[in-house]
Structure 1
């Protein structure tokens, strides 16, 4: 399976497969040939992450060697055209020698620093374990729940906050590393690797440790300088801050602690000039450390990792970070992340539009507002004598705004349809709340961190009384923070977003949704040298061009889809259109037909007879899965299935997923097991169903999202209006929005069925159960590696025969 030697040496730690070489070549060529966008689909199990690392780092080292240092020489030689050639040559050699000397000196410095650290020469404090339980504030001191005095018409709260603001600005200016380490990275171009989850970023660090790249100069050893970035949730080591439930409350708690007299014991007062911070910054890039390693490093040195890590940014070549940090301009500014002329790699990019949309979207219900109003009144009643007039007045204004929003929702309840657009001016027109300056109110919320104060006080009361749940939400995001986010969207709604109604289970909701993510994406697009969108299931690709970077010319977009590392005979894909003469079509209007459901059950029984070990079946929703299982219990089909395989069902409770998977895994290896799962649920993404855990995957129907949800109606209306505004016809507008709707469905299909093949020796069968899967417009949107293995037959008897033959060729049967 290894391919021809690549003309480039990518320093891959293993002997790469042909498709890995093809992917590395495609990535390298995309960057070097000045493409603005690269879209790469590389199935899970094909070594995508290592290929991305090796190709991008090889390009960066080549770029530094051939451009950065040579440009330094050329720029200094511009005014010396009259000099003899031997003088110019000598000058170039001196510049190169000086650059090499600086790099060598810095590498030796890092070697020594790391050696000293490993030998415990610089540790001054004992290692401390991370907190295992929430911090509980002392009962006797309630001052911590009070905001600083607030003056409504001023830009700041107190002289103390003015001084803090000045210090922060000074800190920002001085945050860059000191001149004695500036030489460590003369190249402003970096690689930013972004992924969705903390575990995926840690896996990236593990893969990076396997690699070693050629230096920017000959005869020189140069380590890969890598830095992982994260939120306070990953990097804070202060127990008081870490005790907070949400990232937002942790942020507020950290700032609040810095303002207090005691301050944070891990953040030096002389932060800018701190030797500890400098040591942390350099040690952070001395070797490849993941985010947990940085936490341990901060604990060992007794210094804050969250702030100290920023000192290492300018020293690095490659940075990993979660999506949220790269897509929020405020976060990039705070962290001093300059993506200008850099390479931005977005992994697991199939859901990137959803991620950007969710970052800038928020919703609120009348019940949410009612609970927030109760909590605000409770807090105000407790502390009214201790609050200054600015705080009291603004809390009363906040209550008034929330009451107006609640009344507006209640008044419209039952009179609106999902997707109906809301004019913001209509919300307060029948109340005096329109007299409240929401911009000033937002400033009050930001300056005082009042949401954090109130939530902490209510938590204290709840812990003490083990009651009062009616004034506080048990969700992971406290309601007061959600309301604050909603009010902020009222003050500066994006032109790419809309307010609209939604109705779910008879509950009316006001939603603000970012309908056009290209506006957020555009800022990074304009600055970066190149953006690479990568994933195991990127098809259909058309949506990325249409809705993420519509301004980029097609000739500036490079698309690459590679095959799978597995042999062709290790995967068969069947479209299943009928069983016993009953056509399969699980559209919304037909999917509950009892005759069709029984035919589906019969098909599954026949599959269970022929497929060994584990089988995973995906249904469009939890509700539909439960309806199907209820029907099969009545007809005794579920009992027949359980005679052949142990039956498991994906839990809707996330805390029970791990236990279910463990039990399913054990059963699959023994008698064999079948796992009923949901598209978009806990099992459809990020779960590894390798080897015997999924010798077959069944996709039941096409999992279209709810066409009548407020979000979908609003999004499709936005797409159609946009097409018409650019001169398109009504038919073209309808086709465009339908294509978007269909693409959502097919990306979900591709993501789910990709769970089964995880490495080169893996094998499985995929059954696509719905007559609509035979349509060319549907098949063309399947991932290429799946599409290439579609079997010609739709005949059920032939499918069963080929299934038996498939596993006989693998020397396994159902008698295992």
Structure 2
């Protein structure tokens, strides 16, 4: 893997203007040049880039990628013009010039037509909003009208067994809807319409994905800051009076759950129910066809939707509102925007699942993929392909199936009757296995898929065909919605549309899909649960993200994995693209924008030199004396550090245990450590299963001055957990986080079934690969075991690094970071900390005790106090 330093950045990038709206920091320039170089090289390049929070990572990604895109488009067009001239080199020069002049004119006219049309939409926004408001009231009223011609039609299975489509970008739509979407640019053909409706297709796109919609909204806010040059080549723009800049064309993609504007569908709640009901309402046979679905009468509004979207840099909420104002479905209308967009934002699941990409018409071939907050990517891939199923779910599903068959059984014919019977067999077989699992001695364990499918002859059923049938017939939705309808009637709730029910049968389908994966790529686990009634849960875990991610890496021109805390890097290469040539992988760990003197990093290996070390390993954590010494050390830190101190513990259970110890009186001292901490700072704690909002609000108010008169405490202490609610996405900037303390190394529970399976998988696949490469069995085994240990340790250190990153949030911020455990003094562990933390680390601090730490903290905060006073 090639590590990039500033000196290695290509010389031609040194003076490149990235159109950053501010004066970039040195680390931002380094980051942008690296991104640009990766995209320019192309040919399946991958970048793993770390830029600490507070260094403007999102804006740097925007400026680098869009600057490259505009330069690349201009260059490609210029090359195309040159090639056109070369093709006629034997002709007289005036003929060649006329040809080129005409081609330049066509490019210019096409560009001007689009930009003028989009500019007019920007000018008409306010007037259109007023008109849309009136139309929306009319359409909202219309949407409430329900047709009741045939009540049973909504839930009855179709009798035409042959009318099924292959899954594609238009899957689930009626013929009429498919034709309309093809007219606006999505599908196998594009019909040319009037000149004011032409689609200027962007051949290369940037797909930007992040974990949550709020992070994508923040990205779009940043996207509105910079201004980029026109994508026209110089030879075309020269001599014309066109603007030198060109607004960015953005499309934010999302699921039906976020974009649906049909009240009767949107209120269903679950993603699966919304998807099934939506596609059901597109069919020509539907008695209550969705009035917002694509159709000829809405073609004008669909084009308005497209042009308004490309003109205005909207977020998901804007698209939802635009669809309502135009009375056209934003989920389907968004597909007509896709060809003209330069940059598309979307959440992880829509990018990581090939079926989701196909449903949205996303084609990655030759395009750029940027994955932000990529420290989550390994877990995100596993979560997208995970599935769970409980015994109680299956019992409920069997009951629902019985209710449905009682009502419609006599109307089920042919393949419908056969497949409904097969669903019943699958439910009964899985139920039988799970009821047997309740009697197993162990509370959890690994399940053999063959044992699972042996009951009731499930292994004799073609599961692929059954899944396809359930999806195409919408069986799960029909059964669940009918049962919800019956139950609502029984309760006397006859208010019309069905309320959302628990998607039990959809969970069954997800689990069946997981069962069809290669057994080598995943494992199935059982876990007993003890609540009001004994239950047992099956969980499918994807062990290898390689196959799921390979289609992205092999298709895209370049893939950028960017995050604030990506260290250690090796797991991404080993897990996501293990066979990719190292020359195609670029890694970069940027420094922080803060001055070196704004950071004080120490490792605390023991309370005093020569005293027993702090080692919060699983075996040593229960040492009562060590717990008390830790409490006294934190108390000493609180005596010196002003404002906010955040402490991260390895787990919620250990936090509970240690608080109990601190609340007990100490020998020779009548005041427990807990009470002494409360006297110094107001103490708050994160609690598993409860919302963190109230805790964060009270913690912040205490620090920022909302304490009672006469309260002498200097700020607040927040006790949290690595990997918990406070360790990611929370901003402890400035006074809220003057010190972050990490207790121990939060290794995952290696005795748990899922981690056992992960370790075994890495060992076996690594050994097999090394032997194929020519290594001996003994060498391969040793290296495979080390690879598994590294993966395990890297998971721990990523969690630590994520927690550390909560404190320093901008250039003027400052904080102390204390790592409490003797193991932080080892070179191997230190080497897995981010570069900016290593640079700020007191090298021999692990050899010193609490007294030396107090001296360092005192000097650090006195200096900062003096600097603040002099400003």
CA contact (8 A) 1:496 1:517 kept: no
**1:803 corresponds to:** 857
**Residue 426 (structure 1) aligned to one of 423, 448, 451:** 451
Unaligned runs of 5+ in 1: 469-473
**CA offset at residue 395 of structure 1?**
3.4
1:642 aligns with 2:678: yes
Match of 2:205 in 1: 190
Among 785, 796, 803, which residue is 1:745 paired with?
796
2 CA distance for matches of 1:121 and 1:365? 48
What are the Cα deviations for residues 385-423 of structure 1, in whole angstroms up to 9, with x where unaligned?
665675555334323212211222343556587996654
Aligned counterparts of 1:262 and 1:12: Cα–Cα separation in 2: 51
2:431 counterpart of 1:377: no
CA RMSD of aligned residues (A): 3.4
1:238 aligns with 2:298: no
Contact 2:153/2:287, CA 8 A, preserved across alignment: no
Return the offset for 1:171: 5.3
1:730 to 781, 785, 789: 781
| Deviation (angstroms), 1:358 | 1.4
- In 2, the alpha carbon distance for the partners of 1:241 and 1:346 equals 31
1:729-786 Cα shifts (integer Å, max 9, x gaps)? 2211111111111111111111111001111111111111111111111111111111
Aligned partner of residue 9 in structure 1, secondary structure: coil
- Give the superposition deviation at 1:502: 4.2
Which of residues 612, 616, 625 is equivalent to 1:582? 612
Maintained 8 Å contact 1:502/1:709: no
Question: For residues 133-282 of structure 1, what are the structure 2 equivalents within 5 Å?
Answer: 143=152, 146-150=155-159, 154=162, 156=164, 166-167=175-176, 170=179, 173-176=182-185, 179=192, 180=195, 185=200, 187-217=202-232, 218=237, 220-221=242-243, 222-259=246-283, 260-270=286-296, 274-282=299-307
1:136 deviates by 13
SS at match of 1:303: coil
Tell me, what secondary structure is at the counterpart of 1:791? coil
Which of 536, 556, 561 in structure 2 is aligned with 1:533? 561
Is residue 2:38 matched to residue 1:30? yes
Q: Distance in 1 between matches of 2:399 and 2:183?
A: 45
1:456-479 deviations in Å (ceiling 9; x for gaps): 3454566677899xxxxx999733
Aligned partners of 2:136 and 2:327 also within 8 Å: no
C-alpha displacement at 1:140, in angstroms? 12
Structure 2 contact 150–287 (Cα < 8 Å) conserved: no
Matched-pair contact (CA < 8 Å) for 1:503–1:710: no
Structure 1 residue 182, shift from structure 2 partner? 8.5
Q: Secondary structure at the match of 1:339?
A: coil
Quick one: distance in 1 between partners of 2:688 and 2:492?
A: 26
Q: Cα–Cα, structure 1 residues 598 and 459, in superposed 2: closer, same or farther, change >3 Å?
A: farther
User: Offset of 1:685 from its aligned partner?
Assistant: 0.8
Tell whether the 8 Å contact from 1:268 to 1:303 is kept in structure 2 after alignment: yes
The Cα of 1:721 is off from its aligned counterpart by 1.0
Shift of 1:599: 1.1
Matches within 5 A, 1:601-640: 601-635=631-665, 636-640=672-676
Q: State how 1:393-792 maps to structure 2 within 5 Å.
A: 393-412=418-437, 422-460=447-485, 478-490=503-515, 492-494=516-518, 497-503=521-527, 509-580=537-608, 581-635=611-665, 636-653=672-689, 656-670=691-705, 671=713, 672-726=715-769, 727=771, 729-792=780-843
- Give the TM-score, by structure 2 length: 0.85
CA distance in 2, matches of 1:462, 1:659: 37
Q: CA distance change for structure 1 residues 395 and 760 in 2, over 3 Å: closer, same or farther?
A: same
- Paired residues, number: 798
1:145 Cα offset (Å): 6.0
CA contact (8 A) 1:420 1:714 kept: no
CA distance in 1: counterparts of 2:680 and 2:148, whole angstroms = 60
Aligned equivalent of 1:39, options 23, 39, 48: 48
Counterparts of 1:63 and 1:661, CA distance in 2: 46
Q: 1:813 to 1:704 in 2, by over 3 A?
A: farther
Tell me what 1:94 maps to: 102
CA distance in 2, matches of 1:351, 1:311: 31
Secondary structure of the 1:500 match is strand
Q: Shift of the alpha carbon at 1:123?
A: 3.0
- Contact between 1:648 and 1:673, CA under 8 Å: does it hold in 2? yes
CA–CA distance in structure 2, aligned partners of residues 634 and 252 of structure 1: 57
SS, match of residue 124 in structure 2: helix
Q: What's the counterpart of residue 15 of structure 2?
A: 7
Which segment drifts farther, 536-545 or 394-403? 394-403
CA separation in 1, counterparts of 2:112 and 2:678? 66
SS of the residue corresponding to residue 788 of structure 1 reads: helix
In 2, the alpha carbon distance for the partners of 1:412 and 1:638 equals 44
Distance change in 2, residues 1:432/1:295 (3 Å): closer
Distance 1:475 1:638 in 2: 46
Q: Secondary structure at the match of 1:326?
A: helix
What is the aligned counterpart of 1:55 among 64, 78, 102?
64
Question: Mean alpha-carbon deviation: is it higher for 780-789 or for 363-372?
Answer: 363-372
C-alpha distance in 1 between matches for 2:135 and 2:50: 44
Which residue of structure 2 aligns with residue 345 of structure 1? 370
Q: Secondary structure at the match of 1:245?
A: coil
The question of whether the paired residues in 2 share the 8 Å contact of 1:189 and 1:340 is answered with: no
Q: Distance in 1 between matches of 2:317 and 2:689?
A: 27
The match for 2:73 is 64
Counterpart Cα distance in 2 of 1:369 and 1:248: 17
8 Å Cα contact 1:418/1:500 also seen in 2: no
> Within 2, Cα distance between the matches of 1:476 and 1:719?
40
* In 2: Cα distance, 1:233 partner to 1:162 partner: 17
Q: Is the 8 A contact 2:446 2:753 kept in 1?
A: no
TM-superposed deviation, 1:454 = 3.5
**1:339-395 Cα shifts (integer Å, max 9, x gaps):** 221111100001111111111121334343233333333444455466567555533
**3-state secondary structure, aligned to 1:546:** helix
CA distance in 2 between partners of 1:460 and 1:605 (Å): 60
1:658–1:769: structure 2 CA closer, same or farther, 3 Å change rule? same
Tell whether the 8 Å contact from 2:172 to 2:279 is kept in structure 1 after alignment: no
Other structure's SS at 2:692 match? helix
TM-superposed CA distance for 1:18, in Å, is 1.3
Displacement after TM superposition at 1:594 (Å) = 1.2
For 1:669 and 1:776, how far apart are their aligned partners in 2? 39
Partner of 1:471: none
- Rounded Cα–Cα distance in structure 1 between residues aligned with 2:184 and 2:521: 35
